[in-house]
Every structure is written in structure tokens, then in C-alpha cells.
Structure 1
């Protein structure tokens, strides 16, 4: 797939603190790329450098092989929402579309389409200050995609949304990617990232920790875990081969297994005397990988798993 955005060796310091340390990644046409990391990892600084809000000390931000990024081809949903509160929804969206040099009549059609899609029917002449927080977020999301950007940057797009609205946003983000939009998404809601993202870039203290497709990252870092429902002695579970650790709560035990365990073979090693009412096997979640990074359990550069 074609690279829409390329970040090459980005470095940025504030006074004596280096917050970006030579990071590089790409966002391809039609993919959803997640940029992840704990607070202070450098995600917002990276996004601000891409947007031209600030400029790197070293490195390049390249859009379709050009260092001059055309702002009318980028959509941006910032983490800090900020639309004018005493302006009508339609006027606000038309104003923002005009800033992107988007045709007015076409903008009106798309506004009405998205207001209907996001359950904001009849709100086009309502002042933004009269809308709920969730409704305002929907309007701001519409503003970021109204002009049909080639690159869409979403910073915490699901924050504050109810589960129904989250599903609507997820569906639309995936729909935009299917139509060819390159999407860079930052979020702390790992379950939602895991549902919709194709690749991810995890960073810690301004540098790359993990970079690759979701499947490759899960294969490399997400060992299997086995959940057993039934009363069992902790020592009996710890004695099972290839078990790294066991977490137990009442009659539920979670066995975290060593890397490269083959589940079908491992099952054969379970003692006959175990009390098993239910048993499930899956890999640890992206959330758990994220926690491992934040807590320093994954603290070295992993290299690119996928180019």
C-alpha cells in the first residue's frame, strides 16, 4: 500500500528535556494506524509536529513524498475539543469547511448526511452550547471528516462517548479507511484500538517500543493465558509446566503461559485431578501489553515487525 504519511527520525526537545528521540513510522492509504503510549510518552508532541503546530528539531514529516503538507487534505480531531459555543451547528461546520476550501453546497449535503447518521437530526440550527458533551463531540468529529481528507488524525476520539456512539464512530472510521483514507489514531481505550486498528506504534519516553501489525504484535508479545473456573490449589497450578505465573480470585484462576506454548500440546500436561468447570484459552489483550509497557516490563526497542 502507498504511504500517505512518513515520519522520519523525528526529534524534539523542550529546554533540556528530549521528548522525541528519533521516531519513525508510516501511515498507509486505507489503513488505521494507532499511536499508543502512556501519558508523557510523546504522542501529542508527535501529532503537533505532523500538524505543523510545532516543528521538529531533527527529522522530517512527509506527505506523499512532499515535506509541505497541504492542510486542506488533513482532518484533525484534537483531544481538547474547542468549537465556538454560541454558533449554530450548520454555520460552524460550513465555516470550517470553507477554511479547507471545500465547496459550500457539497459541504451542506455532507453535513445533513452526517447529522442524520450521528442522530443529530434537526440540530443544524441549534447553538453548540445547547448540545450535550457527546453531541458536541459528534459535531467536532464531523468537522474533521467533512472535507474528505486524505489523512485523518484522531486524538482520543472515543473519550466521553456512550457505547452506542462509540460503535457509530468505529463504524465510520472503518468505513473511511475502506474508502482509502489514511487514519492515525491515538487512544487510551485499548479494547477499541484492538477492534479497529490494522497496525500500531507504541512509544515510551519519546522512543519506539513496538511497531508492527496488530497480528504480529499479538504474536510477538501476547503470550497465551488459560482461565480455569473451579476451586484449585495455587501450588498445584504453579507446578504445571510452562506456567509463568498464576493469578487467583476465589474459584477463578488465570494461568499466564510462557512464550511459544502450543495450546493443544499444553492441554495434555494438565493434571487429571484439577477441578475444571470452565476453561478458556486466549492471548493476553492489547491492554495488558500496554500496561506492561507503562510499568517497564517491556522497556527495550523491539524493532519493526512490519514494514
Structure 2
């Protein structure tokens, strides 16, 4: 397990990390999300040893991260860390050799990952001649050629088209199946929601909520959406429900209802609606990660003012 414990980091009067703590399990895809300046990149650089924390520690399998362990981390920075005037294949071999692979191992790794990431035909091209999306694929290949035991990726999906996103997602899932913990940051919250096993939301240098997607989407006041005829006279106030949204959809109307407690009997809603006409849709609505993010970050900002 990769464990981040009580990290503090300040730059003069600016606090970048304020007691940040979380962990990433082996074989887990962990989404690390937060606003710009929340502390994500600082935390990643401390994990890598590029920055030193003022206090706190980072451990892998219970042991402090030393040079040998960090050598096995596959890192993908947000700002591309590639040599623009070096050929793709030569660059990947060079980086693999820096991680301790033999010449043959480095060449094999380069061939494998350029094939898998669909850039094998660009091995002899200079990085600067590639599109931004292909440069991003090369950057991921650079993080993979050393066969890392931990992966830390800062905005890996930035600038990718949907096909490239699918390719990169498949690669990350493959690594987690091998038991590699993968932590990545992203502002594409729908992608994080669909891809990750767990998510942590950081705000102002501290982790404000963390958990599995389904766990985070649970609410104390369940919401339901029901679609009936626009002329339906169904009312739900007597059930203690509040109407959060009412939207006309042609000859039908959508209502979003908020229940007063977690154990509310949703069948009461359906029964009341059917007594006044047909019901075309009825389901429990769970907030998406984007809504959770806005709510958590907004609340945190108000509390720290």
C-alpha cells in the first residue's frame, strides 16, 4: 500500500499542503481531484522525492520511500517532460536505461508500449513533430517502460481524443490487474467517475473526502426523479417530499423529489403518482462526482474563510 501521512508543505506564507493524508491500495486506480492550486501536484512531487515535505511521510508497503523504491515509480508530469528534438524510440530506450534496464530489455519495453499505445509508427519521429495527443501517449509510454511498481500520473488524459482516452484507460486497468497502484489527477470528473475504484477530493491542501464512487454518491436525503403526464395532479407534499426541480418535457413533466431520510419508502412516491395517471420513468437519482466536487469544495472554502 502507498500511504501518504500528514503531509505539510509551505512556500513562505502560502500553505500548499495542510496535513494531507490518504492511501492507495495495490491494484487500485485512485482518482486525485481538486481545483487548481489545491495541492495535487505538490503532493505528487513529494511522493516522487522531487520536493521535500516540511513534515509527514510517504511509505510503500510500510517502508519509507527511498531511492530504490522511487526508481520503480512510473511518473507522468502534467507539463510534458520529453526531449522535443529526440526520436520517440531512442528517447524511450534512454529513459528505460536510466531506470536500470539492460539495452535489450529497454528495446523490448519500448517496442511493447509503443505498439500498445498505437505509436509504433512514430518511433523514428522527433517528439516535437507529434501532435499533442501523440506526445501524451509517448509521455505515458515513458512512465511504463521501466515496468513500474507504482504509477503517479498528473493529468494524463489532458488533450486526448476519445479513442486515445480509451487506449490509455485500458492500459491503466491492465497495470492495476498486475497489482500496481495507480494514482492520477484529472479535471475530467466524468472520466474519473467511470474509471476509478476510489476518489479523493483535495481542497486547500487537505483531503476533504475520500471513498469509493458509490459510497460518495450516497446521500442522507435521497433524491428521486419521476416523469408523468404534464396534466397529472399528483402531489407529494403529504409524504414529506420537497420538489427540487420541475421541468416540462412536451406533454410530460419531470419532477425531482428530495426525501426527508435515508430509509424513505420510495414505493409511496410511485403509488401516489399512479393514482393520478401513468408513470413513464421513475428512479432514484444519485449525484455525479462533478456535483459532489462542487459541493465539497464550496463548503470547504466557506468554512476556512
Same-fold call, TM cutoff 0.5: yes
Q: Show CA shifts across 1:115-149 (max 9, x none).
A: 22222232111111221111111011011011111
Give the whole-Å Cα distance in 1 for the aligned partners of 2:101 and 2:236. Answer: 63
Q: Show CA shifts across 1:237-285 (max 9, x none).
A: 7787433621536556351523514434443343643675444433111
Partner of 1:263: 266
Q: For residues 105-254 of structure 1, what are the structure 2 equivalents within 5 Å?
A: 105-220=104-219, 223-226=222-225, 228=227, 231=230, 241-243=240-242, 245-246=244-245, 248=247, 251=250, 253=254
Unpaired runs of at least 5, structure 2: none
Partner of 1:40: 37
Give the whole-Å Cα distance in 1 for the aligned partners of 2:284 and 2:7. Answer: 40
CA RMSD of aligned residues (A): 2.8
Unpaired runs of at least 5, structure 1: 302-307
Q: CA deviation at 1:90?
A: 0.6
Correspondence for 1:296 among 293, 296, 299:
299
Larger Rg: 2
Q: Show CA shifts across 1:195-247 (max 9, x none).
A: 12111221211222112222322225794341537546999677874336215
Change (3 A) 1:214 1:86: same
8 Å Cα contact 2:203-2:300 kept in structure 1 = no
Give the whole-Å Cα distance in 2 for the aligned partners of 1:40 and 1:299. Answer: 17
Give the whole-Å Cα distance in 2 for the aligned partners of 1:168 and 1:234. Answer: 50
Deviates more, 1:140-149 or 1:235-244: 235-244
Give the whole-Å Cα distance in 2 for the aligned partners of 1:274 and 1:298. Answer: 45
Correspondence for 1:68 among 45, 49, 65:
65
Give the whole-Å Cα distance in 2 for the aligned partners of 1:300 and 1:225. Answer: 29
TM-score calculated relative to the size of structure 1: 0.86
Give the whole-Å Cα distance in 2 for the aligned partners of 1:21 and 1:297. Answer: 13
8 Å Cα contact 1:34-1:184 kept in structure 2 = yes
Q: Show CA shifts across 1:40-91 (max 9, x none).
A: 2211111121111211111111123222332221011111113111111111
Give the whole-Å Cα distance in 1 for the aligned partners of 2:238 and 2:15. Answer: 46
Deviates more, 1:210-219 or 1:76-85: 210-219
8 Å Cα contact 1:98-1:104 kept in structure 2 = yes
Partner of 2:289: 286
TM-score calculated relative to the size of structure 2: 0.86
8 Å Cα contact 2:92-2:142 kept in structure 1 = yes
Q: CA deviation at 1:92?
A: 0.7
Give the whole-Å Cα distance in 1 for the aligned partners of 2:114 and 2:202. Answer: 36
Residue 20 (structure 1) aligned with residue 22 (structure 2): no
Give the whole-Å Cα distance in 1 for the aligned partners of 2:80 and 2:248. Answer: 41
Give the whole-Å Cα distance in 1 for the aligned partners of 2:36 and 2:220. Answer: 21
Q: How many residues align?
A: 298
Change (3 A) 1:233 1:46: farther
Correspondence for 2:3 among 2, 6, 10:
6
Q: Show CA shifts across 1:176-207 (max 9, x none).
A: 00111011111111111111211122121122
Q: CA deviation at 1:175?
A: 1.0
